[in-house]
Amino acid sequence: MRSPLAVVVLNYRTPDLTLRCLESLSREVEDGIEVIVVDNASNDGSAETFETAIAREAWTPWARVLRAPKNGGFAYGNNLGIRAADADAYLLLNSDTQVLPGTLREIRHALEVRKDAGLIGTSYEKDDGSDVNGAFRTINPITELLRAASTGPLSKLLARHETEIPLGDAPQVVDWIAFAAVTIRRDVIDEIGLLDEAYFMYFEDLDYCLRAQARGWNTVYWPAARVVHSLGGSSQITAEHSDEVRRRRPPRYYYEARSRYFAKHYGRHGLLLANVLWNAGWAVSLARAAVERKPLHHRRYEAIDIWINATQPMAPYTRVGAKA
């Protein structure tokens, strides 16, 4: 019998965080809901840890472990979980999340009352209870200029291209949502397919929201469904650390994913334009930093790394073990 909701929790060498996520789900799971923990070939004992915990805590009626044969990335691991369950909708959760009381019920309610919603995003909060933005405007070439420049007057002039948007207490249609916690309606998957596995990690969420939007589905931010997101627990790129740590050079696959996104949705010329505009914004930021004697906010080597894969943006990506 088809489940009303299947939850996919993706793990890669974060067993403690994943167990904490499962514990939060154990207090919210209702009849018919199933949880699949996909271990993305961690090879660190994670899968065995989950199997032991599921048996010990008597979570076997609703939770199971699926071992991926390889670490194929974020989209690959989540697609495995989706394929393993027959459900009306799929809630994808990062390992560094915890669902708060009533969240699963709110998601099911949203699916019922918003038939236009192909994807539903939750609100996020940090471990300390403060809010985190998880819904945005589309990233386009002009947003790259603004991101690199990070200059007030320019941001005000081109405000409609800023990705950050004000989020209230009421549901609202947005361009895209972060996939740390996202619910995808089964009808959407049947219509447009699964996540694009050519993205190893990053930009697959934005890509999928735009693909759904192109087929008439809305992406809806549903603030009553709340999730704690320990930023960076499953990825150091989004971790909240010191400025020094945030400026570290990301792995190569981050820029490969960026190149794929721009080429796929704006064409090769759109990718080139995004890179040129980023470099222009970088020059503005350099001039401002020299005048104000402030440190730059960009990641190291970013002015060069944005050109990674730019000549063949749709080529297969470098996978695990790629050098930055």
Instruction: State the DSSP H helix or E strand holding residue 268, giving kind and residue range, or none if neither.
Output: helix 252-292
323 has a pLDDT exceeding 50: no
Which DSSP string corresponds to 273-306? HHHHHHHHHHHHHHHHHHHHT----SPTTHHHHT
Q: Are 324 and 249 in contact (CB under 8 A)?
A: yes
What confidence score (pLDDT) does residue 317 get?
A: 54
What confidence score (pLDDT) does residue 322 get?
A: 34
> Using CA atoms, how far apart are residues 25 and 35, in angstroms rounded to an integer?
8
Q: Which alpha helices (H) appear in 4-132, and where do they start and end?
A: 15-26, 46-56, 74-83, 103-113
Q: Are 107 and 171 in contact (CB under 8 A)?
A: no
Nearest-5° angle of CA 295, CA 246, CA 17? 160
pLDDT tens digits for 28-76? 999 899 999 999 999 999 999 999 999 999 999 999 999 999 999 999 9
Which DSSP string corresponds to 301-314? THHHHTTTTSSSTT
Give the single-character DSSP code of 316: P
pLDDT tens digits for 211-240? 999 999 999 999 999 999 997 655 555 555
Least confident of 187-191, 262-266, 304-308, 319-323: 319-323
What confidence score (pLDDT) does residue 232 get?
A: 61
Residue 10's φ and ψ, nearest 5 degrees, are -95, 125
> Using CA atoms, how far apart are residues 38 and 64, in angstroms rounded to an integer?
9
Give the single-character DSSP code of 317: P
246 has a pLDDT exceeding 70: yes
Secondary structure in 3-state letters for 6-31:
EEEEEECCCHHHHHHHHHHHHCCCCC
What confidence score (pLDDT) does residue 244 get?
A: 61
What confidence score (pLDDT) does residue 313 get?
A: 86
Instruction: State the DSSP H helix or E strand holding residue 123, giving kind and residue range, or none if neither.
Output: strand 117-125
pLDDT tens digits for 97-154? 999 999 999 999 999 999 999 999 999 999 998 999 999 999 999 999 999 998 889 9
Secondary structure in 3-state letters for 213-241:
HHCCCEEEEEEEEEEEECCCCCCHHHCCC
Q: What is the mean pLDDT of residues 265-274?
A: 96
Assign 248 to helix, strand or coil: coil
Least confident of 97-101, 139-143, 179-183, 306-310: 306-310
Nearest-5° angle of CA 39, CA 44, CA 47? 35
Question: Six-digit token pair at 120?
Answer: 């539903």
